[in-house]
Structure 1
Amino acid sequence: MGWSIIGTIAALCTTVGFIPQIIRGIRTKELNDVSPIMLSLLLLGCSMWLVYGLHLRDIIIVLANGFTLSFVSTIFSLRFLYKYRGK
């Protein structure tokens, strides 16, 4: 039971950590300083973790990586939108 609590707290911290970047990006309309390679690797890694969590039927892994995927996809989309909106 203790390890589930640690896993849940870890999942919350790593998932919620993307929210400030999304808020900053929306406010400033600028995300050029966020590396597209890093975002691509995060998308790949989170996708693989999500599949792994589904295989294990581990709800903590599935939820954490599902939300993280949505947050990273949002950052990636906003970066693309803000970079190319005027061109």
Structure 2
Amino acid sequence: MKNWNRNNATSEFVRSRRKESKMTQFELSDLTGVGLRFVRDLEQGKPNLMTDKVNQVLLFFGHQLTPTPLSDETRRSLGK
């Protein structure tokens, strides 16, 4: 299995908010209407997830995916 970026901003956000809310992954999946496997993959940083389902989870915490501008330095380092 390919190593996923478990430390990406979205996975860290969901994992920390879930833990702050004292919820299990199962409870979060139940409350948001997505599967348990999806929550696990999201928190583990799986790169190819459906954005509508990611938003379904983020909306539970009052957030959504949005385009974010990158600094010139960050853009230059993307190709490395």
Q: TM-score range by the shorter chain?
A: under 0.3
Normalised by the length of structure 1, the TM-score is: 0.26
Structure with bigger RCO (C-alpha 8 Å, 6+ apart): 1
> Larger C-alpha radius of gyration, 1 or 2?
1
Normalised by the length of structure 2, the TM-score is: 0.27
